[in-house]
Amino acid sequence: MAQLNLSKYESVLADTVKKMTQKGKGLLAADESTGTIDRRFKAIGVENTEENRRAYRDLLFSVSKEASQYVSGVILYEETLYQKSHTGEPFVKVLNDNGIVPGIKVDTGLIELPGTNDTITQGLDGLDKRIAKYYEQGAFAKWRAAYTLNPAKNQPSQLAIDLNAQLLARYAALCQVGGLVPIVEPEVLVMEGDHDIEYSSQVTERVLAATFKALHDHGVVLEYSILKPNMILPGDKNPKGKPDHKTVAAETVKVLRRHVPPAVPAIMFLSGGQSEDESAQNLNEINKVNASKPWGLSFSYGRALQYSAQHTWKGKAENVDAAQKAYLAKAKSCFLAATGSL
């Protein structure tokens, strides 16, 4: 298929990509669903109410001026997209005024793929209309597919890989023709299970190969997209234990070099359950690998940027300042890692 005709929004897409891919800067993934943030809040003894969710996001976004040294964009949950700061300003305006691009998670979650142990992502119904609404907020978009690893059950199935690739590509095409830069997130859940790093590598290669074929088939212009993949890690119950950071980096770069076209401007890794320090150290080593890496290599972290801030805050107003300092310290660490200078 020929590439999409993006003449209507090409300058907008180009400008968004330029803002999002500034050297060293990455994304704050603050797009936790109401259910996901419920688990985060329970861990710190905070009730999961809309006002507490708003207050917590306000904590993060109120230091956007300082955070903009390290963060180029923030992925929001739909509820957050329309909320306001304690000063009465919309969060989107707070971010934009400080040079941080707001984005929005547009998928509606995972459902079981019948006849398999795998999942596919839903959310295409009415997406074109939602994109038009999100465009008014100046947002980019994100869609996540997830793949469970189990060598004994031959997971993920090729059916799940191919269907998720088609869904990711359809989403990306709809975003681009609607003026939004799509973040393509094919997350292989590498840290869950007893498999080795070689199996993680093999599955991630299959997933990336299918994803980029589907993107090509749907005419997606890669220059106006961003990839959000997993790093290559073994399962957390792998009997060999954790590899060192250099091994993770070498395996990750090898897989990316084989399957990610150089037209993609940036690869912004998800943390995928890694700790704050582990995710930063692995990103640092990835950027230090002595091999051609034609894309920017940065971060799009949720827990790995927020864990310390959440556990410092604990829902108490008197802890806001200390929590903000914890968030900024982790953002600076990730920024340094994205330049290989941590």
Q: Supply φ then ψ for residue 316, to 5 degrees.
A: -110, 130
Residue 1 confidence (pLDDT) above 80 = no
**pLDDT at position 125:** 96
Give ∠ CA 313-319-322 in degrees, rounded to 5.
90
Residue 2 confidence (pLDDT) above 90 = no
Tell me, yes or no, if 93 is annotated catalytic. no
Q: What is the pLDDT of residues 162-178, one digit of tens each?
A: 999 999 999 999 999 99
Catalytic residue among 32, 185, 251, 285: 185
Asked if 197 and 247 touch (Cβ cutoff 8 Å), the reply is: yes
- Indicate the angle between helix axes 34-44 and 50-61, nearest 10 degrees: 80
The structure tokens listed for 146 are 């997830």
**pLDDT at position 208:** 98
Q: Supply φ then ψ for residue 192, to 5 degrees.
A: -105, 110
Domains located in the chain, CATH noted: 10-337 (3.20.20.70)
The percentage of the chain sitting over the pLDDT mark of 70, rounded to a whole number, equals: 100
pLDDT mean over 54-67: 97
**pLDDT at position 254:** 98
pLDDT mean over 118-134: 96
pLDDT mean over 12-38: 96
Q: What kind and span of H or E run contains 199?
A: helix 197-217
- How confident is the prediction for the chain on average, in pLDDT? 96
State the pLDDT confidence band at 139, using cuts at 50, 70 and 90: confident
State the pLDDT confidence band at 21, using cuts at 50, 70 and 90: very high
Burial 98-125 (b: 16+ CB within 10 A, else e): ebbbbbbbbbbeeeebeebebbbbebee
Report the predicted TM-score, pTM, of the whole model to 2 decimal places. 0.96
Q: What is the pLDDT of residues 267-292, one digit of tens each?
A: 999 999 999 999 999 999 999 999 99
pLDDT mean over 149-163: 96
Q: What is the DSSP letter of 155?
A: B
Integer CA distances (angstroms), 36 to 63, 74, 119, 143, in order? 23, 17, 18, 16
State the pLDDT confidence band at 247, using cuts at 50, 70 and 90: very high
Catalytic residue among 105, 142, 228, 330: 228
pLDDT mean over 313-340: 98
Tell me, yes or no, if 185 is annotated catalytic. yes
Residue 98 confidence (pLDDT) above 80 = yes
Distance, in Å, from the CA atom of 39 to the CA atom of 134, rounded to the nearest integer, reads 27
**pLDDT at position 169:** 98
**pLDDT at position 138:** 77
Nearest to 74 by CA among 45, 94, 52, 46: 94
Burial 231-251 (b: 16+ CB within 10 A, else e): bbbbbeebeeeebebebbbbb
pLDDT mean over 31-59: 96
Nearest to 265 by CA among 3, 13, 17: 17
